[in-house]
């Protein structure tokens, strides 16, 4: 059997992974001297509450750490001993060294012929959507080589449009200079982010939260969306944001229907803070992104 393994930055909790007959490796979330296992002893909701309190009391933001080589070895070894093969879907190599650690584990186990390490080039919602589709393909009996072709197609077509609500966290994370953050806050600017070339990038900007909803809806309406694939509206600790995004998209695309809402966890959450939201979906095959790379 081909075992599917991935990181918790796909925002798929352990119970859901177990139900999918897959294996999730938790990322460490670090609050000063305290370390928590993502999705194990720190839920999505608890994460944002704790993050806000921690930032207000210390002036800092929490951080995440890569999943080290030994954790990968300990996860892979029992599967190999059972005679299984492994398709490991890593979080974006542009945002974490975890992909490198997975390759090191494969070499240590001398299992290059049994394990495929596939760089999703994504995190959070689009990463999780890819994982679930690859699991579906595995359950149809596809081989590791066939799964890699499926994964390449999914990676090329999955899109994310997400706005940042509070630039405080972006500033403290060092991704925005102080003066820029102050001016953006004063002007109530909401950056619209996506993932390009394995990194999170700003693709547009909006004024105010309502402006962000409208901007995301407008960009979404310009895509040729594959409606046979999942479409998820995302939120970071505030479910009502997903409802507002969905409502705004329906105002522009009347027949819009989402698969459901999806909670954003620590992978993006440590950098964006609470209150952000967006949408993730797949383009139709053969179509291009409307966002220039």
Sheet holding 260-263, edge to edge: 199-207, 189-196, 158-163, 277-282, 232-235, 260-263
- Mean pLDDT across the chain, nearest whole number? 90
**185 and 198 housed in the same domain:** yes
Is residue 91 within 8 A of residue 98, CB to CB? The reply is yes
**95 and 220 housed in the same domain:** no
More confident residue, 172 or 291: 291
Digit-coded pLDDT (tens) for 114-131: 999 999 999 999 999 999
More confident residue, 82 or 43: 82
**164 and 278 housed in the same domain:** yes
User: Two tokens at 263?
Assistant: 């909670």
Tell me: pLDDT of 291 over 50.
Answer: yes
Report residue 270's pLDDT band, with 50, 70 and 90 as the boundaries. confident
Residue 181 sits in a domain whose CATH number is: 3.30.1180.10
Backbone angles phi, psi at 238, to 5 degrees: -130, 90
Report residue 172's pLDDT band, with 50, 70 and 90 as the boundaries. low
**18 and 150 housed in the same domain:** yes
Domain's final residue, options 101, 125, 157: 157
Range of the structural domain that residue 257 is part of: 158-282
Task: Identify the pLDDT of residue 177.
Answer: 41
**55 within some domain:** no
**10 within some domain:** yes
* Overall average pLDDT of the 164-174 stretch: 65
Task: Identify the pLDDT of residue 268.
Answer: 77
**240 and 108 housed in the same domain:** no
> 3-state class of 163 per DSSP?
strand
Backbone angles phi, psi at 169, to 5 degrees: -75, -35
**102 within some domain:** yes
CA distances from 256 to 4, 197, 247, 249 (A): 31, 28, 9, 7
**251 and 133 housed in the same domain:** no
What contacts 227, CB < 8 A, 6 or more positions away?
none
Task: Identify the pLDDT of residue 171.
Answer: 52
Report residue 283's pLDDT band, with 50, 70 and 90 as the boundaries. very high
Digit-coded pLDDT (tens) for 174-226: 444 433 443 455 457 888 989 888 788 888 999 999 999 999 999 999 999 99
Tell me: pLDDT of 278 over 60.
Answer: yes
Residue 36: CB atoms within 10 A of its CB come to 20
Q: Tell me the HSE value of 273 on the side-chain side, using a 13 A CA sphere.
A: 20
Residue 93 sits in a domain whose CATH number is: 3.40.50.10170
Task: Identify the pLDDT of residue 292.
Answer: 63
Q: How far apart are CA 110 and CA 108, in angstroms?
A: 5
More confident residue, 268 or 147: 147
In terms of average pLDDT, the best of 42-46, 171-175, 237-241, 281-285 is: 281-285
* Overall average pLDDT of the 146-156 stretch: 98
**166 and 275 housed in the same domain:** yes
Find how far residue 23's CA is from the centre of its chain.
Answer: 16
Lowest average pLDDT, out of 32-46, 112-126, 132-146, 186-200, goes to: 186-200
**166 within some domain:** yes
User: Two tokens at 143?
Assistant: 């081989």
Digit-coded pLDDT (tens) for 59-115: 888 988 899 999 999 999 999 999 999 999 999 998 889 999 999 999 999 999 999
More confident residue, 162 or 187: 162
Q: How far apart are CA 8 and CA 251, in angstroms?
A: 34
């Amino acid at each position: 059997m081909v075992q599917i393994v991935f990181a918790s930055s796909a925002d798929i909790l352990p119970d859901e992974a177990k139900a999918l007959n897959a294996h999730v490796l938790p990322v460490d979330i670090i609050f000063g001297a305290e370390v928590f296992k993502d999705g194990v002893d720190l839920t999505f909701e608890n994460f944002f509450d704790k993050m806000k309190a921690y930032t207000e009391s210390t002036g800092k933001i929490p951080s995440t750490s890569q999943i080290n080589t030994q954790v990968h070895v300990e996860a892979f070894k029992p599967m190999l001993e059972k005679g299984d093969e492994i398709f490991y879907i890593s979080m974006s190599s542009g945002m974490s060294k975890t992909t490198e650690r997975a390759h090191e584990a494969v070499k240590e186990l001398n299992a290059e012929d049994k394990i495929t390490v596939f760089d999703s080039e994504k995190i959070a919602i689009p990463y999780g959507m890819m994982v679930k589709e690859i699991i579906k393909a595995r359950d149809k009996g596809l081989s590791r080589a066939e799964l890699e072709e499926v994964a390449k197609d999914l990676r090329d077509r999955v899109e994310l449009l997400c706005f940042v609500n509070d630039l405080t966290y972006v500033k403290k994370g060092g991704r925005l200079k102080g003066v820029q953050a102050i001016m953006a806050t004063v002007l109530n600017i909401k950056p619209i982010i996506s993932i390009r070339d394995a990194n999170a990038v700003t693709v547009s900007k909006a004024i105010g939260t309502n402006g962000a909803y409208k901007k995301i809806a407008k960009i979404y309406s310009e895509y040729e969306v594959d409606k046979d694939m999942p479409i998820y509206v995302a939120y970071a600790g505030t479910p009502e944001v997903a409802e507002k995004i969905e409502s705004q998209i329906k105002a522009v695309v009347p027949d819009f229907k989402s698969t459901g809402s999806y909670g954003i966890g620590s992978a993006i959450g440590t950098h964006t803070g609470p209150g952000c939201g967006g949408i993730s979906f797949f383009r139709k095959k053969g179509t291009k992104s409307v966002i220039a790379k």
